[in-house]
Amino acid sequence: MALRDEKDRQLDSARVDSVDTHLTSQQGVRVDHTDDSLTAGDRGPTLLEDFHTREKITHFDHERIPERVVHARGAGAYGHFQPYDGWLAEFTAAQFLTDPDISTPVFVRFSTVAGSRGSADTVRDVRGFATKFYTRQGNYDLVGNNMPVFFIQDGIKFPDFVHAVKPEPHNDIPQAQSAHDTLWDFVALQPETMHMMMWLMSDRALPRSYRMMQGFGVHTFRLVNAHGAGTFVKFHWKPVLGTHSLVWDETQKIAGKDPDFNRRDLWEAIETGNFPEWELGVQLVPEADEHRFGFDLLDATKIIPEEAVPVRPVGRMVLDRNPDNFFAETEQVAFHTANIVPGIDFTNDPLLQARNFSYLDTQLLRLGGPNFAHIPVNRPVAPVHNNQRDGFQQHQIHRGRTSYFKNSLGGGCPAVSGDFPEVFAHYQEKVEGTKIRRRSMSFKDFYSQATLFWNSMSETEKDHIVAAFRFELGKVDHIEIRAAVVDQLNHVDHELAILVAKGIGVPAPEQEAIPNHGHSSPALSQLTAPVTGVRTRKVAILIADGVDGKGTRRLVAALKESGAIPELLAPADGMVRSANDDDLQADRAINTMASVLYDAVVVPCGPDSVAALSKDGYAVHFVTEAFKHGKAVGAFGVGIKLLRKANLGETRIATNEDDIVSDVGVVTAPAAEDSLPAQYFDTLITEIGQHRAWHRDTSSIPA
Ligand code: HDE
């Protein structure tokens, strides 16, 4: 049986369906009634012997478990991973990475970091990207993020950092926000945060979709081949749909309009068969080259630039099944950096070392004891035999009289036998030193990679970063903290520090603290990546009674054919009268949605339709706001009138003399119905595929 089917069969044994069943107690006793308690008389007290009420209420009282102390808000899915070929076998004994015939089942959980379980998805934050591989050699967890570096270098600082970013302790404000005094106070005093803060202030912190973000293992890990030789490795996930972000104003509005935006997107993509995909890649560094970089490979605040060490493709991961039950699976999944398999090992990165302690510790609290590996989502596909016994929620019935090793009564089983890579053996690294509590000197460069990141950004991305610093620091009440952060930024780039200072009412530094080294890494920019098309992009089509049904149907067909997801939005739910063919079914009422929930908007022809939409404030705002956020906007026939009403600034819009006009992502044509040229759809779809018209100036557009 294929490995992925084995995991599914294992889950099957735990799945429960209620269809065609009878209501029972937890003991399997059928009950006659579940709406009224057992009372002494019509209006009397409830009786203690009412076991059904007591059980029902007691279970309810105990329904909650502690949320994750970080990464509390998340969404997960099952899928599989398969290597393309066996090239990595030279470097690792891990079969799931090297045998192209093995498709390994996975469970992936994406998350935000700072917010609590019920917080909004689209806040400015790092995203977790944790993958559990159920391999034949045991579970391997790659517990990464969507940014390749971290805030701190040593795990002992983690509680300090998390306390600083979480809601402030006196009033529990603000929820899921980094824009407050304690975080920036911490940052100003802890300059090792600067590189990660550049990432956090960048568009990376606002992913359009979990399906459109990269993942990184962050730490340098070690691959170990069948002969026991080690190679340093950094893991990368690259999304097939490209890496794309929302804009800040949009994210804040989505947080109200649809707080489940990223979670819903993942769920719907899988339900509709648009399975998200990533390519796993590795950067390999021979041990002999450990010290050839100007930074320490053990320092998790550093990347290895892709231009220095290319990312080599290993295989493909596809997520193709949603969980059946959020709590049982997504909430109870327990990741742990120390879950590794033969062929992969740790390094002495002090952040990783602390994580190797923390994850098991936190699961013991969160999942109530040491038997959480018995929970279906956590169970390995590989067989499990050991002498660990008992504990809360023991689900296994261990037979036999021996639970110790060595034993003769149990035939010496479970036996310790075999050689690496059949068994896991720790990499034999020579370690010696004096016991000290001191950061290595090789960890002392806090700024050069923050500068590298800044230098690598396009002008648009730089504008967004400056705006983000201004917003965040603008929410900081203590002016001296704002000034201290500007002083830190002056160590990253003088121009950046001046631009930020200007927006937050503190003096701009007169001189640079460190000269900018001038190096860049083009791979760090999201906007230099190739365009990836329109697959799964959501397009709102605004219609009302009297719409050009023929033109609209052609538009819908063209979008569907390209892989986009068109939705018809009308002033009210129900049927919409077409001016020239069959009526159309609206997918949603405009006022239940918003432009921020779509990637593009199009207004078809139809004099009555456009007249009605022009009088509908939601519809007009819809177009203006989509334009403001840089989205592709289209209109044909008299649909153009709604664009004029929506005020798209200086944008060139087609007149009757034009055929098709495409200007800053706004695609207009005066024709309609069957005479609308097919090229109109091609042009529009190309613009949607650009993700955003970043060169559009929207600063004066009110929305
Ligand atoms: Fe985590 N982290 N972390 N972390 N982390 C947790 O584990 C911790 C760090 C990451 O979807 C916790 O089960 C320490 C880096 C993800 O279930 C906890 C340190 C990276 C997830 C914990 C770090 C991460 C967690 C909370 C510094 C990126 C969510 C609940 C030494 C490479 C996993 C839990 C999921 C979750 C501790 C730093 C990623 C408390 C002590 C660096 C994706 O164990």
Nearest-atom number in ligand 1 for the CA of 74 is 11
* Residue 661: predicted pLDDT: 98
Which is it for the CA torsion 569, 575, 580, 581, positive or negative? Answer: positive
Positions marked catalytic? 71, 145
Residue with tokens 């504008």: 463
Cα distances (Å, whole numbers) of residue 527 to 204, 245, 447, 530? 11, 10, 23, 8
SS (H, E, C) 325-385: CHHHHHHCCCCCCCCCCCCEECCCCHHHHHHHHHHHHHHHHHCCCCCHHHCHHHCCCCCCC
Which residue CA neighbors atom 7 of ligand 1 most closely? 359
Backbone angles phi, psi at 15, to 5 degrees: -75, 140
Which residue CA neighbors atom 16 of ligand 1 most closely? 128
| 465 CA → ligand 1 middle, Å | 26
Which residue CA neighbors atom 43 of ligand 1 most closely? 128
pLDDT tens digits along 343-390: 999 999 999 999 999 999 999 999 999 999 999 999 999 999 999 999
Nearest-atom number in ligand 1 for the CA of 129 is 43
Top mutation candidate among 69, 71, 220 for ligand 1, by most atoms within 8 Å of CB: 71
- Beta carbons within 8 Å of 274's beta carbon, 6+ residues apart: 535, 536
Q: How confident is the model at residue 4 (pLDDT cuts 50, 70, 90)?
A: confident
Q: How confident is the model at residue 3 (pLDDT cuts 50, 70, 90)?
A: confident
| 351 CA → ligand 1 middle, Å | 11
Burial pattern 635-672, b for ≥16 Cβ within 10 A else e, equals bbbbbbbbbebbebeebebbeeeeebbbbbbbbbbbbb
| 117 CA → ligand 1 middle, Å | 15
Q: Is 293 exposed, middle or buried (0-12, 13-18, 19+ CB in 10 A)?
A: middle
User: Residue 627 pLDDT > 80, yes or no?
Assistant: yes
| 504 CA → ligand 1 middle, Å | 33
Across 103-122, average pLDDT: 98
- Share the mean pLDDT of the chain: 97
Which ranges constitute the DSSP H helices of 78-141?
A: 95-98
* Residue 530: predicted pLDDT: 82
Backbone angles phi, psi at 176, to 5 degrees: 55, 40
Listed as own residue / partner, the contacts of 284-291 with beta carbons closer than 8 Å and 24 or more positions apart are: 284/91, 284/223, 284/231, 284/232, 284/233, 284/309, 284/312, 285/220, 285/231, 285/232, 285/233, 285/309, 286/231, 286/232, 287/230, 287/231, 287/232, 290/232
* Residue 196: predicted pLDDT: 98
Nearest-atom number in ligand 1 for the CA of 357 is 41
* Residue 549: predicted pLDDT: 98
Which residue CA neighbors atom 29 of ligand 1 most closely? 71
Across 52-73, average pLDDT: 98
Q: Is 55 exposed, middle or buried (0-12, 13-18, 19+ CB in 10 A)?
A: middle
Q: How confident is the model at residue 217 (pLDDT cuts 50, 70, 90)?
A: very high
The pTM is what? 0.97
Top mutation candidate among 359, 360, 364, 375 for ligand 1, by most atoms within 8 Å of CB: 359
* Residue 1: predicted pLDDT: 72
| 158 CA → ligand 1 middle, Å | 10
| 70 CA → ligand 1 middle, Å | 7
Which ranges constitute the DSSP H helices of 149-302?
A: 158-165, 181-189, 194-200, 248-257, 261-271
| 657 CA → ligand 1 middle, Å | 60
Question: Mean pLDDT lowest for which of 392-396, 416-420, 531-535, 673-677?
Answer: 531-535
Nearest-atom number in ligand 1 for the CA of 219 is 32
**Which domains does the chain carry?**
74-378 (2.40.180.10), 451-524 (1.20.1370.20), 538-689 (3.40.50.880)
Would you tell me how many other CB atoms lie within 10 Å of the CB of residue 425?
Answer: 14
Integer Cα distance of 183 and 415 in angstroms: 51
Nearest-atom number in ligand 1 for the CA of 152 is 27
SS3 396: coil
pLDDT tens digits along 436-490: 999 999 999 999 999 999 999 999 999 999 999 999 999 999 999 999 999 999 9
| 14 CA → ligand 1 middle, Å | 28
Share of the chain above pLDDT 90, in %: 98
* Residue 127: predicted pLDDT: 98
pLDDT tens digits along 405-432: 999 999 999 999 999 999 999 999 999 9
SS3 437: coil
Top mutation candidate among 65, 67, 68 for ligand 1, by most atoms within 8 Å of CB: 68
Q: How confident is the model at residue 528 (pLDDT cuts 50, 70, 90)?
A: confident
Nearest-atom number in ligand 1 for the CA of 362 is 44
pLDDT tens digits along 128-150: 999 999 999 999 999 999 999 99
Top mutation candidate among 143, 165, 204, 339 for ligand 1, by most atoms within 8 Å of CB: 143
- Which value does ipTM take for this structure? 0.98
Q: Does 444 sit behind a cis peptide bond, omega within 30 degrees of 0 on the bond before it?
A: no
Across 539-561, average pLDDT: 98
Nearest-atom number in ligand 1 for the CA of 361 is 44
Ligand 1: residues with CB < 6 A are 68-71, 74, 109, 111, 128, 130, 143-145, 150, 155, 158, 218, 300, 333, 335, 351, 354-355, 358-359, 362
